[in-house]
Structure 1
């Protein structure tokens, strides 16, 4: 369906021009449908057609397998926390603090906001949180915050 848009009328038009414009429109909105009989017939044909899709049964089961780490090194992804991981940890910890969880490190007195406290705890690596990085093939590694740079 094609939709025609009329030009916007400027607010500086005179009253006579506005009345003529209203009469010329015939009381219709500025949006007018331009539907021809051919497109209506095509729509009817499409609505009567039944579409079938091929479905595939996957016999492969998806299992998670942990990659053991030697010497506390990060094997999946960058050695640092990504900005998304930092945001997720900060948000989760901030929520915990706002609900009354104890603060895990000594904080300076100027930190009054839970987000600031959560960021400070993340920088000091005092949070007992691990990040799970998962590969598409099902391999994963749990990374404690202490391992990150």
Structure 2
């Protein structure tokens, strides 16, 4: 009895690691998208030879750039608030910051903390009182806004417009 030989599939050997393939795949996809955007910008007419050469030069420049994934040697630094100037983010409280402040203050009030203002007649719940306190900017709170590199700015609530 002889056993039938199983056909073996030939697999090409590659010396590129998986990390390089993923990086090149993403870069190639981004460059293809960039090329399509530039070519569609003019509309119906194809790019002239000069424009095509400029596009290829820009693509080569992008391909040669060094990719910085993470810099480990940066220690977060506080950016000071000089003369009430807010350098990180918008000059007003964002809706998320407002919600966080009002929610935290309403919880404090509901747990028995004394209010910083006289309680308005139309206030029915602690959230109404915290909204009024926020409008009058009497809550002693500081907002910390953080940049992606870890640098941050502590901004007192008085500085917001």
TM-score range, shorter chain: 0.5 to 0.7
Contact 2:143 2:155 (C-alpha < 8 Å) held by counterparts:
yes
Q: Which position in structure 1 is the counterpart of 2:3?
A: none
Q: Deviations over 1:104-141 (max 9, x none)?
A: 01121221201111111000000000000000011110
Distance 1:83 1:59 in 2: 31
Find the counterpart in structure 2 of residue 74 from structure 1.
86
- Structure with bigger helix share is 2
Q: Is the 8 A contact 2:81 2:155 kept in 1?
A: no
How far, CA to CA, are the matches of 2:94 and 2:106 in structure 1? 18
Please identify which structure carries the higher strand content: 1
In structure 2, relative to structure 1, the CA distance for the partners of 1:59 and 1:120 (3 Å cut) is closer
What CA distance in whole angstroms lies between the structure 2 residues aligned with 1:62 and 1:91?
A: 34
- TM-superposed CA distance for 1:74, in Å, is 0.6
TM-score in terms of structure 2 length: 0.55
| Structure 1: distance between partners of 2:85 and 2:113 | 30
1:33-112 counterparts in 2 under 5 A? 60-61=72-73, 63-112=75-124
| Runs of at least 5 residues in structure 2 that lack an aligned partner in the other structure | 1-17, 20-69
Q: Distance in 2 between matches of 1:107 and 1:65?
A: 40
Q: Distance in 1 between matches of 2:121 and 2:89?
A: 36
CA distance in 2, matches of 1:147, 1:59: 32
Q: Give the aligned length.
A: 96
**Pairwise CA distance, 1:97:** 0.5
Cα deviation for residue 68 of structure 1 reads 1.3
Query: Matches of 2:132 and 2:109 in 1, distance apart?
Result: 13
Q: Any unmatched runs of 5+ in structure 1?
A: 1-52
Aligned partners of 1:138, 1:120: CA distance in 2, in Å? Answer: 33
Query: What's the counterpart of residue 125 of structure 2?
Result: 113
Judged with a 3 Å threshold, the aligned counterparts in structure 2 of structure 1 residues 69 and 59 are, in CA distance, closer, same or farther, namely closer
